Amino acid sequence: MRKYKYLLFIGIAILLHFKSIMMLGQVTYRDHMEMSQTLKDLQSKHSGITKLISLTKTQGGKDIWALEIGKVSSKNQPGLAILGGVDGSYISGPELSLRFAEELLSSSTTDSIRNLLDSVSFYIIPNVSPDASEQYFSDLKYTRNKNSRGTDDDRDGRLNEDPYEDLNSDGKITSLRIKDPKGTWITHPDDERVMIPADKKEGEKGQYILITEGFDNDLDKNFNEDGPGGIIFNKNLPYKFEHFKPGAGDYPVSEIETKAVLDFLYEKWNVFAVLTFGPSDNLSAPQQFNKSDAEKQVISSILESDATINSFISKKYNEISGEKSHPETRISNGGFMQWAYFHYGRLSFGTPAFYIPEIKVEPDTLESYKKKKEEFNPEVNFMRWADSTLQEEYFLDWTAIQHPDFPNHHVEVGGLYPYVRNNPPAGIMDSISRTHNEFIVWLSAQRPVIQIINIQTESIGKNLFRLDMDIYNQGYFPALSEIGINTRWVKKPKISLTLDNGQDIISGHPIQLLDKLDGDSGHHISWLIREKGTVKVEAGAPQMGIQVIEVELK
């Protein structure tokens, strides 16, 4: 396995760090049953500040859990929603969500976390794809993100008729490569284990057909295109929903788990931001504002002031979690992170949490090495990183087999094992979890916070009083994201004045709504009131808290 020995320029400290953690023999990922038990235990141990709800059960009979942490009865405490498992093959998402809950609750007796939980609620939905992620724990491992609904992925009128087959009986679905002049794939010149498409621009000619491991059960010339399941949570949402694509669903929000999660969130008016663990990424690199896409009728660019916020949050994310090699904004159509921004109207952030560091090689120092491809290839980079870092198996060397669909062909089974590219090995989880927990706590501190300031009263004679104040947002985040200003699914900050007996308003409104209230900005308000007495002013919105003050006019 270690036949490629590159000289590494990666920070040696980090490497040693990873190694040392792995030595501890950490627990691996937890399956649905273990997660459910952990959640129940957390809830019973911290019953005063937690609430555990099963939002629904999937077709596979698994609960979609939501763990609420904070002042569980408060509807007006800013909330941060955290989702894992939007893509069931990113099994680290559920683990990171759960680890955040565990660490937060285990520190809930410290002053800082107790104060935090007095002013922020966390809604943790660790795994929205339990049917899919369970594949990791089953005897046959393959990268799965589909739920248990029987579907006709290739729309040929037959359900699940062409699944994978484990041809070499190693319990994992990898790839097949078939030597064939018609093929469009070649091996990477820098690492022959890695297959890449032949590049016509370079005059390359394909030598291999590359498919997933299995047979063409329905003789339609496609391999394994309609296996067990199902609908992919991260394709079932209505923002840029892709009709009729495999895994999308018959219509947006067709699945009970999607509907249950959305219904839950729509009831939580106090959510000010959403963090998603999964394939979508606007944290290693922020989403960019695109004026023409933002001005179209169907808006498809993050709006300008929200992009500014995204950019700052991304910068802090990289500071806290470590610089990334080749950071890249990644979004997926029908995906959850985009939905939370474009339709739910909340600031929305996402990360896969696991990034492979770039392994640089020094050509001169190695005789056998000659760099043939200039451009960065993430898979080659992964192999270099894995060769020098991983202790567990991550690659199956290409091995010849017989395949009835390709008689008289040289067929090999091999390639990367499922899950290894997108999920950190168990040993690294600790450090990833620690930095992400730190980031989440920092993120929650950016919430919008109502504060009534500069309160002034003035008697202008004849029992007339002027009452002045500023409604101020002392947080970094706005009360409404720019996209949220125009959707009815985010509440506007509301200011209401209640008078004492015998008082009446000469000028000003008893109830006012603010269309926006940005971070670190205020809105001036005043009333003319007749007669002495104590008035009550209530200001705020669920996502920024509500403050009530009493002012005596005398």
Query: Interface residues with another protein (CB under 8 A)?
Result: 152, 155-157, 218-220, 237-238, 241, 243-244, 250-254, 259, 262-263, 266, 269, 297-299, 342-343, 483, 486-492, 494, 509-511, 513, 541-542
Which residue shows structure tokens 């795994």?
Answer: 127
462 or 488: whose CB is closer to another protein?
A: 488
386 or 499: whose CB is closer to another protein?
A: 499
CA angle 213, 133, 228 (to 5 degrees): 50
CA separation for the pair 266, 263 (Å, rounded):
5
Of the candidates 112, 111, 109, the one whose C-alpha atom is nearest the C-alpha of residue 438 is: 112
- What's the closest the beta carbon of residue 195 comes to another protein, in angstroms? 29
- What's the closest the beta carbon of residue 338 comes to another protein, in angstroms? 12
Assess contact for 534 and 549: CB atoms under 8 A. Answer: no
CA separation for the pair 334, 25 (Å, rounded):
38
Of the candidates 36, 78, 76, 75, the one whose C-alpha atom is nearest the C-alpha of residue 53 is: 36
Quickly count: other Cβ atoms within 10 Å of residue 535's Cβ: 20
- Considering only CA atoms, give the Rg of the chain: 28
CA separation for the pair 544, 477 (Å, rounded):
9
- What's the closest the beta carbon of residue 142 comes to another protein, in angstroms? 24
Q: What is the DSSP string of 203-260?
A: T----EEEEESS--TTSSS-SS-B-S---BGGGSSSTT--TTSTTT-SSTT-SHHHHH
- Written in H, E and C, the secondary structure of 92-132 is HHHHHHHHHHHHHHHCCCCHHHHHHHHHCEEEEECCCCHHH
156 or 430: whose CB is closer to another protein?
A: 156
Q: Six-digit token pair at 126?
A: 């660790």
- What's the closest the beta carbon of residue 53 comes to another protein, in angstroms? 19
209 or 262: whose CB is closer to another protein?
A: 262
Assess contact for 117 and 481: CB atoms under 8 A. Answer: no
CA angle 245, 173, 276 (to 5 degrees): 55
250 or 362: whose CB is closer to another protein?
A: 250
264 or 417: whose CB is closer to another protein?
A: 264
296 or 326: whose CB is closer to another protein?
A: 296
12 or 511: whose CB is closer to another protein?
A: 511
- What's the closest the beta carbon of residue 297 comes to another protein, in angstroms? 6
- What's the closest the beta carbon of residue 350 comes to another protein, in angstroms? 19
| Residue 136 CA: distances (Å) to CA of 55, 132, 215 | 23, 8, 22
Count of positions (residues) in the chain: 554
- What's the closest the beta carbon of residue 542 comes to another protein, in angstroms? 8
112 or 297: whose CB is closer to another protein?
A: 297
CA angle 400, 401, 406 (to 5 degrees): 110
183 or 542: whose CB is closer to another protein?
A: 542
| Residue 88 CA: distances (Å) to CA of 52, 132, 242, 428, 485 | 21, 5, 19, 20, 33
- What's the closest the beta carbon of residue 377 comes to another protein, in angstroms? 35
- What's the closest the beta carbon of residue 336 comes to another protein, in angstroms? 12
- What's the closest the beta carbon of residue 332 comes to another protein, in angstroms? 17
Helix, strand or coil, per DSSP, at residue 24: coil
